[in-house]
Amino acid sequence: MTIAFSQYWQLTKPRVVALIVFTAIIGMFLATPAPGLPSFLPPWRALVFGSLGIWLAAASAAAINHLLDQRIDALMARTSHRPLPTGSLSSRQVLLFAIVLGSVSMLLLIVFVNGLCALLTFASLIGYAIVYTGWLKRATPQNIVIGGAAGAAPPVLGWVAVTTHHYEYALLLFLIIFVWTPPHFWALAIFRREDYARAMIPMLPVTHGVQYTRWQILFYTVLLVLVTLLPWIAGMSGVFYLGGALVLGAVFLYYAIRLLKPPSEAFAMQVFGYSIWYLMALFAFLLVDHWLLPGLAGAAAPAGIEFQPVR
């Protein structure tokens, strides 16, 4: 019983999905007026059912990823211990699990949140589970750049769970995760390139070589540092966020430059590990900044404009 639970839990990619839900929740908070105004907590239904619905949809997408990738997962050292390659769960069980999670997610979002949030969440689920996993991943070395759109969507999903007002700010959050994805993934792909070569998956380090991939990581990291300035330039975030983004970005740049001539083979995995802390910290800075600067409430909900949850 406990073993079965842990196998199903593993299907949901719990740590990846935890960070995804974290960015969605930050999206909800940033869409909500800051302290000092009548309500600084997102509407409770968006917070509770929105987070739960987005979590279940991402977990369902992750389970479908396991299902469609079982043949290649069996060929790769990093993934060969997963429930399908080891035979501890059957394809039927995984499919059923994914359908249940996805259906409950849609039900919660449609009934308790709103149709737009449900629609965009469903599009993200399909984007990752079918478009990326079933097609792009095997088709082009730009797979994770294009497929990254699904993983970048959660702050937008969180935002529209609360309101469509100033949705352009949510698009800035989307852009940050979208540009973050290539350095995040390619660092790991460099270290795991033999896995991908064995499974014949056209990841950039396999098709274009390690050095080219390192330069691409540096290119996207520079772009990322520039893109993270946008929330401040657009007036969504203040100098507290700006300071945090600059420090975090400087460290990321240091890692990306060092990766051009790495001290060891394992250094790429340090860059990968940092990318995760980076995103978590950047979004934490966005939230604290939003709370520290009540003046910004004007940015999220300008005077005279009613705070309107989408229904």
Ligand X SMILES: CC(C)=CCC/C(C)=C/CC/C(C)=C/COP(=O)(O)OP(=O)(O)O
Residues making contact with ligand HEM (CB under 6 A): 15-16, 19-20, 23, 78, 144, 147-148, 151, 177, 181, 184-185, 188, 276, 279
Angle at 80 between CA 79 and CA 84, to 5 degrees: 95
Cβ-closest position to ligand X:
128
Please identify, using beta-carbon distances, which residue of 79 and 216 lies nearer to ligand X.
79
Task: Tell me: does residue 101 bind ligand X (CB under 6 A).
Answer: no
In whole angstroms, what separates CA 100 from the centre of its chain?
22
- The entry of ligand HEM, ligand X, none near residue 23 (CB within 5 to 8 angstroms by kind) is ligand HEM
CB of 131 to ligand X, least distance (A): 11
In the range 111-170, which residues lie near ligand X by CB under 6 A?
121, 124-125, 128, 133, 150-151, 153-154
Instruction: Decide if residue 28 touches ligand X (CB under 6 A).
Output: no
Do residues 164 and 116 make contact, with C-beta atoms less than 8 angstroms apart?
yes
Alpha-carbon distance values, 171 to 88, 99, 236, 241, 298 (Å): 40, 29, 12, 17, 18
Q: How far is the CB of 188 from ligand HEM (least distance, A)?
A: 5
- Closest distance to ligand X from the beta carbon of 298 (Å): 30
Number of residues that bind ligand X (CB under 6 A): 21
Our CB check for ligand HEM shows the closer of 165 and 192 to be 192
Which CB sits closer to ligand X, 153 or 268? 153
- Give which of ligand HEM, ligand X, none residue 58 binds (C-beta under 5 to 8 Å, depending on kind): ligand X
The interface partner of residue 7, options being ligand HEM, ligand X, none and the CB cut-off 5 to 8 Å by kind, is none
| 11 touches 79 (CB < 8 A) | no
Decide whether 195 or 289 has the Cβ nearer to ligand X. 195
Q: φ and ψ at 153, to 5 degrees? A: -70, -30
- By CB under 6 A, which span of 13-21, 166-174, 216-224, 286-294 interacts with ligand X? 13-21
Cβ closer to ligand HEM: 121 or 299? 121
| CA dist list (Å): 259 to 185, 224, 305 | 14, 16, 48
69 binds, among ligand HEM, ligand X, none (CB under 5 to 8 A by kind): ligand X
- Judged by beta carbon distances under 5 to 8 A according to partner kind, the member of ligand X, ligand HEM, none in contact with residue 74 is none
**Per-residue contact string for residues 43-82; x = within reach of ligand X by CB under 6 A:** -----------x--xx--xx--x---x---------x---
- Give me the residues that bind ligand X (CB under 6 A), please: 13, 16-17, 20, 54, 57-58, 61-62, 65, 69, 79, 121, 124-125, 128, 133, 150-151, 153-154
